[in-house]
Amino acid sequence: MTLKIVVYSQSACPQCDTAKKMLRNKGLPFELIQLDDAGQRTAFLKRFDLRVQQMPQVFINEQHVGGVVGLQTALKRIEL
């Protein structure tokens, strides 16, 4: 199964580091998009109509799964 994983992240974010490490440990490739500018983050959240403020935000096959907990749940669901 091929997964397209996109991680929206920001610098100096422990949760972002956790999500990236989790994916690397499972050998899953992902696209990383850094949103270090507050304006970029606001535009991103509005674009996807997200009601959250924290990073990271992860998408698998263009479906929003959330942050670290959502990523863990999604990976369990697809048995990875």
Closest C-alpha among 43, 59, 47 to residue 8:
59
Give, for 44, the enclosing helix (H) or strand (E).
helix 38-47
Identify the architecture of domain 5-77 in CATH.
Answer: 3-Layer(aba) Sandwich (3.40)
| Residue carrying the six token digits 């959330």 | 66
Tell me whether the omega of the peptide bond preceding residue 56 falls within 30 degrees of 0, making it cis: yes
Q: Show the tokens assigned to 9.
A: 């992240």
Domain boundaries, the chain: 5-77
What is the rounded CA–CA span in Å between residue 72 and residue 15?
Answer: 12
pLDDT in tens, 18-49: 999 999 999 999 999 999 999 999 899 888 88
- The structure's pTM equals 0.92
